[in-house]
Structure 1
Amino acid sequence: MTPELVFLIATYGIMPFWLLLALAPTWKFTQALVHSALIPIVIGIGYTFYVATGAFSVEGGGFGTLEALMIAFTVPEAVIAGWLHYLVFDLFVGAWEVRDAQKRGINQWLVAPCLFFTLMLGPFGLLLYIALRFVTRKGGWSLDQAETPA
């Protein structure tokens, strides 16, 4: 499979899961699929394949300096590994936002723009969601609700 084909499959293949999070977050199919380990496992296998087969073994490439990192990402396989890395972590954060909003009683339609920006701009979308929690007074600095003692 060419890197271009993997890119297209990964990019378009992840979209239905984002749509489920945004449009049907409480549907049992969304709960069973998007909030399971299945998607991270599948993407993780692809990522591991690219890393294990030398995606980052280009001469002069590495993670120690900006220049070395730029060299590492001059090969398509390294870019695909990086893209898969983004996709799996962005979806993980988006799924957390949905679960957290449900737990806190935040309206799903208020969360939807945060999800869009989490998909497109990762940390900015998370920042928007955290701001939404403050604006709605349904969350503070803690990313998890404190457990009440039994």
Structure 2
Amino acid sequence: MTYPLLFSIINLSVLPAWALLIFLPRWKGTKFIVHSALYPLFLGGIYIVCFALALSGQGAGGSFTSIEGIRELFSSDVGIIIGWAHYLVFDLFVGAWEARDAQKRGFSHWMLVPCLLLTLMAGPVGLVLYLVLRAATRKGGWGCSHTQPSDVG
């Protein structure tokens, strides 16, 4: 399999999951497909194989200890696959967390959709928007706990 083909496969593979989060958030299939370990295992497996190739010297040079090393790593096809799989798995993981958290807190799904789209396209921007909207709507504030300040005695 070529690296461009692998890139296309992993890039397109996450789109159904994002579509399910946006259009069918409460469907039991979404829970099975997106909120399970399927995507992290699939993308993580590709990541691990490419990472091992890079470390073994078969794929790319470079290192994680300097900006020059990172530049060298990401200047290769295997390095791009490593980086892109990393983004895809973590952005989807964060988007799935946002969706679960929003459902638990009674957050409007249609307010969540822009957060999900931004998380897909610009990871941290979508997460920050979700956290800001969650606080602004008093659906959870800034803490990690499900307990809202008004619930604490």
TM-score, normalised to structure 2, is: 0.90
- How do 1:1-150 residues align onto structure 2 when only pairs under 5 Å count? 1-54=1-54, 57=57, 58-59=60-61, 61-146=62-147
Q: Decide whether the 8 Å contact of 1:104 with 1:138 is kept in 2.
A: yes
**Structure 1 portions without partners, runs of 5+:** none
- Paired with 1:27 and 1:39, the residues of 2 have a C-alpha distance of 17
Aligned length: 147
AA at the equivalent of 1:47: Y
The alpha carbon displacement at 1:55 in A equals 6.0
- Does 1 or 2 have the higher relative contact order (CA < 8 Å, sep 6+)? 1
The two structures, once aligned, show a CA RMSD in angstroms of: 1.7
State the Cα deviation string for residues 74-130 of structure 1 (Å, max 9, x = none): 110011011001000000000000000000000111100000000000001100000
AA at the equivalent of 2:106: G
AA at the equivalent of 2:44: G
- Paired with 2:80 and 2:2, the residues of 1 have a C-alpha distance of 12
Moved over 4 A (4+): none
TM-score, normalised to structure 1, is: 0.92
AA at the equivalent of 2:4: E
Change (3 A) 1:55 1:113: farther
Equivalent pairs: percent with the same residue? 48
Q: Decide whether the 8 Å contact of 1:56 with 1:62 is kept in 2.
A: no
State the Cα deviation string for residues 15-66 of structure 1 (Å, max 9, x = none): 010010011110111011100011101111111110111268444x111111
